[in-house]
Amino acid sequence: MSFDKLLDLAYSYGGLLFNGLLVSFYLTALSYLIGFTLGVLISIARTYGVRFVKAVCQAFVELTRGTPMLVQLFLIYYVLPRVGLALDPLSAAIIAIGLNSAAYQSEYLRASISSISYSQWEAALSIGLTKLQAVREVILPQSIRVAIPALANELIYLFKYSSIAYFITVPELMYVSKFVGSRTFLYVEIYSIIAVIYVAFSIAATEAFKFIEKRTSIPGLRISTRL
């Protein structure tokens, strides 16, 4: 591709692509937050809950992990309106990706909770903390730290997976690229450019998380190496 063409492209469609990137970030951030919040709740419910609650959560997690995210996205976008829950494309994507991520994040956290030894639990109770306090003050802070690499990885995954919102016309990076491609017929050029953006973000985020991890690490708290 000639440099002129690139400049032209940037001039005519740069703003559009930038907006697409912002939508991708927004989509990723919100669905990650939903995933994290629900993930924490589900992991606690699956560890400490009564049998019924455990079973419901397990069913949700297994069903979600056993089917494609794309199917879930379509279910939420195309089927929910039939029960009177019509969502705009962006909301549908945020909810679908968020729920999907909740299943995965709950699994990372559940594994890290079970890696915290029972003696921490006993010690927490022994100073008079209630069970709820023991979870909140002792078990969760430790297990979240242990799960940080997996949770950070999940954020990077979500950024990449947010591209499937393209299928339901959310104007995120992939979708606007397709639009620019169809206007200019420079599909390969435009896709190459956003490939660079995706890759740059993934690598930069990986490095940033490694740095944060080192900075915030607590001596003796073993962190699972999943990056």
Partner 1 sequence: MNGFLTYVPIILMGVWNTLILSTAGFLLATLLGLLMAFTEVFSPKPISIVTDWVARVLRGIPLLLALLLVFYGLPRLGIALPNIASAIIGITIVDSGYQAQLFRGAIEGVGGRQLEAAYSIGLSKWGAFRHVIAPQAFRAALPGWLNEFTIVLKDSSIAYAIGVTELFTQAVHVAQVVLDYLQPLILVSIVYFSICYPLSIISERARRRLLAMGVAAV
Partner 2 sequence: MGAVLEVSNLWKFFGKSPVLRGVSFSVGEGEAKVILGPSGAGKSTLLRCINLLIKPDRGSIILDGEEVTAPGVNAARVRSKIGFVFQHFNLFNHLTALENVMLGLIKVKGMNKDDAFKVARESLLSVGISEDLWNKYPAQLSGGQQQRVAIARAIAMSPRLVLFDEPTSALDPELIWEVLGVMEKLSREGMTMIVVTHELGFAMKVADEVVFMDSGAVVERGSPEEVILRPRNERVRRFMERMQYVYSLK
Interface contacts to partner 2, rule CB under 8 A: 119-120, 122-131, 133, 137-138, 141-142, 145, 218-221
Structure tokens at 211: 């740095």
User: Whose Cβ is closer to partner 2: residue 87's or residue 129's?
Assistant: 129
The answer to whether residues 116 and 139 touch, using CB atoms and an 8 Å cutoff, is yes
Sign of CA dihedral 195, 197, 201, 203: positive
Contacts of residue 122, Cβ cutoff 8 Å, sequence gap at least 6: none
User: Whose Cβ is closer to partner 1: residue 124's or residue 176's?
Assistant: 176
195 binds, among partner 2, partner 1, none (CB under 5 to 8 A by kind): partner 1
User: Whose Cβ is closer to partner 2: residue 131's or residue 183's?
Assistant: 131
Shortest Å distance, C-beta 13 to partner 1: 17
Site residues for partner 1 per CB under 8 A: 62-63, 65-71, 74-75, 78-79, 82, 160-161, 163-164, 166-167, 174, 178, 181, 187-188, 191-192, 194-195, 198-203, 206, 225
Contacts of residue 123, Cβ cutoff 8 Å, sequence gap at least 6: 138
User: Whose Cβ is closer to partner 1: residue 5's or residue 131's?
Assistant: 5
Q: How many helices (H) and strands (E) does the chain have?
A: 9, 0
The answer to whether residues 157 and 66 touch, using CB atoms and an 8 Å cutoff, is no
Sign of CA dihedral 109, 110, 113, 117: negative
Shortest Å distance, C-beta 216 to partner 2: 11
75 binds, among partner 2, partner 1, none (CB under 5 to 8 A by kind): partner 1
179 binds, among partner 2, partner 1, none (CB under 5 to 8 A by kind): none
Which residue, among 59, 23, 45, 2, has the nearest Cα to 162 in the 3D structure?
23
The answer to whether residues 197 and 21 touch, using CB atoms and an 8 Å cutoff, is yes
Shortest Å distance, C-beta 122 to partner 2: 6
User: Whose Cβ is closer to partner 1: residue 55's or residue 188's?
Assistant: 188
218 binds, among partner 2, partner 1, none (CB under 5 to 8 A by kind): partner 2
Shortest Å distance, C-beta 226 to partner 1: 9
Shortest Å distance, C-beta 142 to partner 2: 5
Shortest Å distance, C-beta 213 to partner 2: 14
Burial (CB count within 10 angstroms: exposed 0-12, middle 13-18, buried 19+), residue 58: middle
Contacts of residue 57, Cβ cutoff 8 Å, sequence gap at least 6: 42, 45, 46, 49, 106
